[in-house]
Amino acid sequence: MAISEIKAGAILSYVAIAVNNIVGLLYTPYMLRMLGQNEYGLYSLVASVVAYLTLLDLGFGNAIIRYTSQYRVEGKTEEQYEMFGMFFKLYCVIGIVAFIIGIILLLNIKGLFDNTMSNDDIYQTQIMMLLMLFNIAFTFPMSIWGAILSAYEKFIFQKALNIARVILNAIVMVFLLYLGYKAISMVVVLTVFNILTLCSNAWYCRKRLKIKIKFSKIKWQLLKEVFNYSIWIFIAGIVDRIYWSSGQFVIGIYHKPSEIALFGVAVQLQSFYSSFSFAISGVFFPKIVKMSVLNDNMAQLSNLFIRVGRLQFYVMSLIFTGFILFGKKFIELWAGEDYSSSFIISIILFSAILLSSIQSLGNHILQAKGDVKFRALSIFSVSIIAFILCFPAAHYFSGIGCAMVISLGIIIGHILILNWYYNKYIGI
């Protein structure tokens, strides 16, 4: 059953990508024109700032998947339920902390962007941010159910639910934008569908998988072990946010919201592009954990790494070639001629993503083996340097400058350094 779930999950992942892309092709141009460049820039800015608060997950989501997969192999059912209870309580605390930090940021928006935004822009930004804070505070404790579904390899339900969510969200938003609603309504709709998705995950786990959550005394030894693992996942998450959320913030300090919108479209295209690679590697994580627990055979893991990476390269290089040839015209038709500058930014980002994403399975192998410290520290060090360089780059060259610095950081941190480490110390 697990094998069929993995295969079906991989297939549905590509179906989800196809749906996302089709919806993006049809809905995004409409949304961009109905919102206007200024308002889309505000929405992109708020989304990027709030995305930093998701870092308070501290890597626990990945840890839940890893330790649940391990406990299932070892037949430790009660330990699973007690671990779920411990994480649920931790996530409730994290949700409250995230909301408080967000409120502090909200109160300082005017001081940060007073020189580049009107009073109306600042007001809309504050409303959107408040709504997103409620969303994220609810998401943290409820996210445990999605992690459990992944650990139990129930990819069919997860992927099908996400596909339905994407389609329904686009339909509702087209209707609301037609009626004249703007960016704030987008945040409301996203929040509603997020709540429905999280509750559906909880229902499936409780009713179909018969998952229980037991609130016992916190096992400090387990928490310490989990924290020693997850802290490095957390640091890697910081890197991800630095690369894909800091650009909008930095550009917003020096330039108008329209410049943020140009960079935001390029980042959105980058997200579509990289999803083609991660759709395959993501469903293999529970399997890799089982392989590591039952039979730590690096030759088998290395072979899997090569086969999956080769397939990812074929897919990614084909898409990149097509984008080089037709990407600029596509952006002008898709987003509008005002967004044509996003093409150069996208090309710069795609170049780095092509090489880094095809070895994404290597990260899962490190996580399964608990060997994540070096990767986290190395890419974090490089990303901090890149973040600092983004300020002068954005000041003088706007989005193109940010993209060049980000791409250079990815090439050095995720490709050159990690390939050396994989070969010398891991054996893949």
Tokens of 99: 């909301």
* Res 203: pLDDT: 94
Asked whether 316 and 357 are in contact (CB, 8 A), the reply is: yes
**Could you report the per-residue pLDDT of 250-266, keeping only the tens digit for each?**
888 888 888 888 898 89
Q: What secondary structure does DSSP assign to 357-383, as a single string?
A: HTTHHHHHHHHHHT--HHHHHHHHHHH
Residue predicted with more confidence, 383 or 292 = 383
DSSP H helices in 179-217: 183-203
- Asked if residue 298 has pLDDT above 80, the reply is no
Tokens of 189: 């709709």
Least confident range of 131-135, 140-144, 175-179, 281-285: 281-285
Which residues 6+ apart lie within 8 Å of 342 measured at CB?
Answer: 262, 263, 265, 266, 269, 331, 335, 399
Asked whether 359 and 309 are in contact (CB, 8 A), the reply is: yes
Tokens of 257: 């919201």
* Res 7: pLDDT: 65
**Could you report the per-residue pLDDT of 189-236, keeping only the tens digit for each?**
888 998 999 999 999 999 888 888 888 777 788 788 778 777 877 787
User: Residue 60: which of 84, 26, 34 has the closest Cα?
Assistant: 84
Work out the average pLDDT over 17-22. 77
Integer Cα distance of 301 and 292 in angstroms: 9
Asked whether 268 and 252 are in contact (CB, 8 A), the reply is: no
How big is the chain, counted in residues? 428
* Res 16: pLDDT: 77
Packing angle between helix 155-178 and helix 2-35, nearest 10 degrees? 10
Integer Cα distance of 25 and 198 in angstroms: 27
Asked whether 56 and 199 are in contact (CB, 8 A), the reply is: no
Residue predicted with more confidence, 286 or 154 = 154
* Res 1: pLDDT: 47
Integer Cα distance of 304 and 37 in angstroms: 44
User: Residue 238: which of 413, 41, 27, 366 has the closest Cα?
Assistant: 413
Work out the average pLDDT over 76-100. 88
Query: Would you place residue 23 in the very low, low, confident or very high pLDDT band (cuts 50, 70, 90)?
Result: confident
- Asked if residue 394 has pLDDT above 50, the reply is yes
Sign of the CA dihedral running 49, 50, 53, 54 = negative
Work out the average pLDDT over 131-140. 88
Integer Cα distance of 422 and 428 in angstroms: 6
Asked whether 374 and 235 are in contact (CB, 8 A), the reply is: no
* Res 57: pLDDT: 76
* Backbone phi and psi for residue 269, each to the nearest 5 degrees, phi listed first: -65, -40
Residue predicted with more confidence, 13 or 361 = 361
Asked whether 156 and 9 are in contact (CB, 8 A), the reply is: yes
Asked whether 107 and 134 are in contact (CB, 8 A), the reply is: no
Count of alpha carbons within 13 angstroms of residue 198, beta-carbon side: 16
- Asked if residue 300 has pLDDT above 70, the reply is yes
Query: Would you place residue 343 in the very low, low, confident or very high pLDDT band (cuts 50, 70, 90)?
Result: very high
Work out the average pLDDT over 413-426. 84
Work out the average pLDDT over 114-143. 85
Q: Looking up tokens 């960016």, which residue turns up?
A: 183
DSSP conformational letter for 115: T
Query: What type of residue is 348?
Result: I
Query: Would you place residue 400 in the very low, low, confident or very high pLDDT band (cuts 50, 70, 90)?
Result: very high
